[in-house]
């Protein structure tokens, strides 16, 4: 998270850290039920389920909360790593979690977000592109949503790279960054986006790009139920 503020897990009780079983954080995710987590498909390309764990209920990336194994994961059949369309996956936890003030699921947005809506993105990703380290304390930042039409307009520099399954979010020097991938973009207490990609982080003309949850919520619900 670039230009964000330190926050606590109570403010984002759906936020999880996806880690190797050695405890190394590599992506964010969002709890949506007692045993299902939404993340980015591109986060699930490097490890097997048995090599991953999920830390829930902790403000710190490397300690505290609960650590639960991964039973299985599945990424979207329409995921394309060149185009980054449908960059979404779900993880089934090896056992259900108990909800507390620090562990609580978030509702999926079922309608496309409107340009200009304020949203919050959170995570343990880097505080700048390439040269910054990952913070141990959870950070968040407020950004403004841009629909596909606005994000592909001449005001920005992505053009036709912005596809129907994406939503963008911009802020004055504010953005998600490396290691925030898979994590939550939340507006009106609903998960509207999954951190997906961008050209750099908080670079002028290049908003953060997210998987638009409203285009895949049915797939998420169905896949969680079947895994």
111: which 2 tokens? Answer: 């309608």
CA distances in angstroms from 142 to 3, 85, 154, 190, 219, listed in the order given: 10, 24, 23, 14, 27
185: which 2 tokens? Answer: 């973009």
161: which 2 tokens? Answer: 């790279």
Q: Annotated catalytic, 42?
A: yes
Which is closer to ligand 4AZ, CB of 29 or CB of 198?
Answer: 198
Backbone angles phi, psi at 28, to 5 degrees: -95, 175
Residue 121's SS3 state is: strand
Nearest distance in Å: CB 163, ligand 4AZ: 16
Say how far apart CA 18 and CA 180 lie, in whole Å.
10
Which is closer to ligand 4AZ, CB of 17 or CB of 92?
Answer: 17
Which is closer to ligand 4AZ, CB of 3 or CB of 60?
Answer: 3
Residues in binding contact with ligand 4AZ, number by CB under 6 A: 11
Beta bridge partners of 18: 27, 54
Nearest distance in Å: CB 23, ligand 4AZ: 19
Which is closer to ligand 4AZ, CB of 97 or CB of 177?
Answer: 177
Say how far apart CA 215 and CA 213 lie, in whole Å.
5
Q: Annotated catalytic, 181?
A: yes
**Which one from 87, 175, 180, 212 is the annotated catalytic residue?**
87
**Which one from 17, 58, 144, 181 is the annotated catalytic residue?**
181
Q: Annotated catalytic, 76?
A: no
Residues 171-200 that bind ligand 4AZ (CB under 6 A): 175-178, 180-181, 195, 197-198
CB 200 within 8 A of CB 156: no
Tell whether residue 211 is a contact of ligand 4AZ (CB under 6 A): no
**Which one from 12, 42, 180, 214 is the annotated catalytic residue?**
42
Residues 117-176 that bind ligand 4AZ (CB under 6 A): 175-176
- Residue 139: other Cβ atoms inside 10 A: 22
List residues binding ligand 4AZ (CB under 6 A). 175-178, 180-181, 195, 197-198, 201, 208
Catalytic residues: 42, 87, 181
């Amino acid at each position: 998270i670039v230009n964000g503020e330190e926050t606590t897990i109570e403010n984002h009780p759906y936020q999880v850290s996806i880690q190797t079983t050695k405890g190394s954080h590599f992506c964010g995710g969002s709890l949506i039920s007692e045993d299902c987590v939404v993340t980015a498909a591109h986060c699930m390309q490097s490890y097997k389920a048995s090599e991953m764990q999920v830390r829930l209920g902790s403000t710190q990336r490397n300690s505290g909360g609960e650590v639960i194994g991964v039973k299985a994961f599945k990424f979207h059949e329409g995921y394309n790593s060149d185009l980054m369309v449908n960059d979404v996956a779900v993880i089934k936890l090896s056992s259900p979690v108990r909800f507390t003030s620090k562990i609580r699921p978030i509702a999926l947005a079922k309608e496309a977000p409107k340009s200009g809506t304020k949203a919050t993105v959170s995570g343990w990703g880097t505080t700048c592109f390439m040269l910054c380290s990952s913070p141990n304390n959870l950070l968040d930042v407020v950004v403004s949503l841009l629909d596909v039409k606005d994000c592909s307009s001449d005001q920005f520099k992505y053009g036709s790279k912005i596809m129907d399954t994406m939503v963008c979010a911009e802020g004055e020097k504010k953005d998600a960054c490396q290691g925030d991938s898979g994590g939550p973009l939340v507006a009106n207490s609903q998960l509207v986006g999954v951190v997906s990609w961008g050209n750099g982080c908080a670079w002028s003309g290049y908003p953060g790009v997210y998987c638009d949850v409203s285009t895949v919520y049915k797939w998420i619900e169905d896949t969680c139920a079947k895994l």
